Structure 1
């Protein structure tokens, strides 16, 4: 299960059935859950917690010191849930004491080749990051977010649930839940309708979200006016999530 050329620190805690490939290095304060498979030439540095059935491909670097110049060796963490897939060359960094002190990642996420996740990012569940997506520090992602390849996301940006960015997007503001963006600089291009239909959203919810989107993006209203009208006209959890994701913005939403 563990290749003889792998270097595993005695203080690392691996479940009994974890597989480790050749020339992989696993440091102290690393915990890896049951059913995980770590490929060859992987480096995992702690403090890092990887959940059950984690799959890491060759040359990935997980839990390394962050690239923030303020970082001075503090024992910050990377914590990941279950069933995450980390493809070739991806880099996932730990947090900083200037923020929450940890990078936090949920479950069932796919990090394709050469994705970078910066320090203190918070990522939900069931997200997909295509090849060479770059997340700067302090980025926040909801659930079911999809980011197209070669996209770059500015620090402190937020993505709501079910939002989507097309490939090559340059993202410097916040993206509300359910919204699809694209471009350099990124602009809103409607709702992520294909994603919503695939995930079983009702026709009533999609129709209400479409009307809510128009109030924010098409009627010339201020954000406050649009949110007031959304809440006056709709009482669905989906429209409330859309409104709440706009209210939570600290950088302004992508238009």
Structure 2
């Protein structure tokens, strides 16, 4: 199976990068399944229903969220009626929607997608991500009920993301980190066949501070004092993520490659 995972979509520039590029990639790369993290697609904070629909229409099979899952209020209702949008497994127990679900890819093959929030350095204490993921992975074993398993670990600390990768090794096809918006250079296949990368990066304008216009973040770093709200950068965006190929029988990854298309980062892809 050919799978594409795109990192955090950041503001208008990130949305444009996805909606303008993903339809072509689905055809040219013959993609079977696409997951997009839409955590910051609406004004850099959360995802609106309208913008979720645009990402789905562009070719996303699933959209994952994160700690800003419900910053846009209409997502509270939209996620309850749209199964292709997932919030984290270990979010508040009263939150609507689901954190893991089995989806159908091209050719009728089944793909489990799950997302969990990390605990280290996060602003609020979330439930244990490891036990939440463990339950989901036991319910839909790789190579059994699911031909592929994709885990989005939305976390600050690379150590926690790497621990999640090893915890899921042999049970997931891909474990990929999101949230920090900076692509890491550690794409690899772990010993039991799980593709891993600590952070997929963001789909957004990299002439920025993790997707925000530079002036206000710099002011706060230099003076310790806020003056204005953060505003998403809106120049040319880079499409950033990972491409993975898997074996349908075992669900193990056979290939992983970083994806960097357009914008300011060096082009890379399968």
Structure possessing the higher relative contact order (Cα contacts under 8 Å, 6 or more residues apart): 2
TM-score by length of 2: 0.26
Higher helix share: 2
- In our comparison, the structure showing a higher alpha carbon Rg is 1
TM-score by length of 1: 0.27
